[in-house]
Structure 1
Amino acid sequence: MKAVDDNLFKTICELQQLPSLKTSVLGGGTSLAIRYSHRVSNDIDFFFPGIIGKIGYELVRKEVEAFYGEAVFAIDYPCDINDQFLFQRFFIRRDDTAIKVEILQNMQFYNTPEIISNIKVMSLIDIGPLKLITASSRANHKDIYDLDYITDHISLNELMNLLKTRRELYNKPEHQTIFDQDGDFDPINDPELLLKFEQPSKGSNSRPGHSNPRIDFIEGQKNWPSARSSWRRKVRAYYNSIGKEFPGIQSV
């Protein structure tokens, strides 16, 4: 079993060659699966640093349809408020599977993207704070599993400081993304959100999400109980560092 199978890898490479996706980078769990080979990933998430708007998304649609023909289907805009609060989702049929692709915009980057296995991926400095935000809002086990691996390389304290810096740098109305439409999920002011995964909730279809919530870890890597315990230890250490009492295990 591979973290990123051949069909998914090939599709990522093909999409990154399209002119309309040239300035986007691969983010999400698949970029981390390429980096760490820690768990199976089935989806593709591309991030644009700025706003491409409906015109940019329609260009993506036209190029994807021209390249894949009938293999691409269900092209949709699950959130379509205006040119700023907008993202695209579609599926590409490969053999007996359908690969979900989501394309997000206005996700300002600190760092230059990295090239891993000939794929342009978001740097850890950028993906780490974004993972904190998504984990705080949608409480998905996969996000926590990924964060545990990220924080094996960048401490949780450092990641929280990066998130704080990000919020200070990108705090104007034009910096807002679709995630800001859901309210303020801020683990800096409310660190209990770092444990929200213990009270999982179903995410909204109008927001990006995982096609399969199950964690299929690669042999030799952490299983979910191990990663969960590791994450809780890191959160406990973070609580100690900021002088807060660590909460007990959340009820389900």
Structure 2
Amino acid sequence: MLHLETIDPPTLELLKRIMQIPEFSGVNLVGGTSLALQIGHRKSIDLDLFGQVDLDDYQYTTVLKPFESVRLINRTINIKTFLINQIKVDFVNYPYAWLQPCQTIDGIRLAARSDIAAMKMAAITGRGTKKDFIDIVALLDEFSLENMLRFYRQKFPDGSEFMVLKSLTYFEDAEGEQAPVMLKKMDWAAVKRRVITETKNYLDSRAGQSGH
């Protein structure tokens, strides 16, 4: 069952329409919106669609023509960001394998939470947002930090666990940001305390193992 209270009805309708388009059959919903729909912890407003999608600008224009309002706001080789009906949508041609099969609920293809955990670990090494840390704490209710780091290593063999651990307790970029609307009680100070404690416990356990 999806937690439909986490996204606005127009966003849900847009997501379902995109999921039905054959050219986007290789993409899955990832990130905070996918996690929110699965566990119901907070509101989310953007759509992050990752997977196999290799369209040029003209093909995107053609495929998205049926939508009422479409504007390309950013593009790189593998990432196209659109405002579709005033909703921000990222299409990412994504080379990394999925750790677990995505599940389809109500016509929406959702990345597994292990994949979302790995991707959140990767996200904070760039610039950790308040939403990223909140999502990580929500995931810590299901997975240990040790397991989340294992997912990260499996998904990103070329990644740096050292950078993840360093980034886990670096909150400066996130401090000034507005917090998302929470549906489960969670304040920012408690989020930081939880992440710091979990990171310290993990590092202490690693030090203990290497001391034997």
Q: Which residue of 1 aligns with 2:25?
A: 22
Shift in alpha-carbon separation, 1:108–1:160, aligned structure 2, 3 A = same
Deviation at 1:131, TM superposition (A): 0.7
Structure 1 residues 12 and 54: alpha-carbon distance in aligned structure 2, compared to 1, 3 A threshold: closer
- Out of 101, 110, 113, the position equivalent to 2:99 is 110
* 1:64–1:72 Cα contact (<8 Å) kept: yes
Quote how far apart the aligned CAs of 1:102 are. Answer: 0.5
Structure 1 residue aligned with 2:36: 33
Task: Give distance in 1, aligned partners of 2:174 and 2:128.
Answer: 7
CA contact (8 A) 2:125 2:164 kept: no
Q: How far is 1:31 from its partner?
A: 0.3
Shift in Å at residue 191 of structure 1? Answer: 1.7
Q: Taking structure 1 as reference, are residues 3 and 224 closer, same or farther at Cα in structure 2, changes over 3 Å only?
A: farther
Cα 1:213–1:114, aligned 2, differ >3 Å: closer, same or farther? farther
Partner Cα distance (1:108, 1:226) in 2: 33
1: CA distance between counterparts of 2:97 and 2:178?
27
CA distance in 2, matches of 1:189, 1:3: 31
Residue by residue over 1:153-190, the C-alpha shift from the partner in whole angstroms, topping out at 9 and shown as x without a partner, is 1111011112122233xx5xxxxxxxxxxxx7x23466
Task: Check whether the contact 1:111–1:123 (CA below 8 A) recurs between aligned residues.
Answer: yes
Decide whether aligned partners of structure 1 residues 116 and 151 sit closer, same or farther in structure 2, where only a CA change above 3 A counts.
Answer: farther
Q: Does 1:200 align with 2:199?
A: no
| Cα pair distance change 1:64/1:190, threshold 3 Å | closer
**Compared CA separation, residues 137 and 187, structure 1 to 2 (3 A):** farther
How has the CA–CA distance of structure 1 residues 149 and 117 changed in structure 2, closer, same or farther, with 3 Å as cutoff? farther
Query: Which whole-Å CA distance do the structure 2 matches of 1:157 and 1:37 have between them?
Result: 24
Identity of aligned residues (%): 19
Which residue in the other structure is 2:47 paired with? 44
Residue 68 (structure 1) aligns with: 67
CA offsets, 1:87-134, max 9 Å, x none? 1011122xxxx2100011123212110123441100112111111010
CA distance in 2, matches of 1:45, 1:156: 24
CA gap of 1:114–1:194, structure 2 versus 1, over 3 A, is same
- CA distance 1:190–1:89, change in 2 (3 Å): closer
Q: Give me the CA root mean square deviation.
A: 2.4
More helix by share: 2
Q: How far does residue 232 in structure 1 lie from its aligned partner after superposition?
A: 1.9
| Structure 1 unmatched runs, 5+ | 81-85, 172-183, 203-211, 245-252
Q: Does 1:151 align with 2:134?
A: no
Cα deviation, residue 21, structure 1: 0.7
**Which ranges of structure 2 fall in alignment gaps of 5 or more residues?**
none
Letter of the aligned partner of 1:64 in structure 2?
Answer: L
Task: Determine whether 1:238 maps to 2:205.
Answer: no
1:34 and 1:116 in contact (8 A); partners too: no
Summarize the Cα distance change of 1:241–1:189 in structure 2 as closer, same or farther, 3 Å threshold: farther
3-state SS of paired residue (2:80): strand
Q: TM-score, normalised by structure 1?
A: 0.72
The 2-side partners of 1:64 and 1:221 are apart by 38
Q: 1 CA distance for matches of 2:38 and 2:11?
A: 15
* TM-score between both structures, scaled by the size of structure 2: 0.85
Residue pair 2:120, 2:136 contacting (<8 A) in 1 also? yes
Structure 1 segments, 4+ long, off by >6 Å, are none
* Contact persistence 1:187–1:193 (CA under 8 A): no
> Would you say the 8 A contact 2:125–2:163 is kept in 1?
no
Q: How far apart, CA to CA, are the structure 2 residues paired with 1:60 and 1:234?
A: 43
CA contact (8 A) 2:168 2:195 kept: no
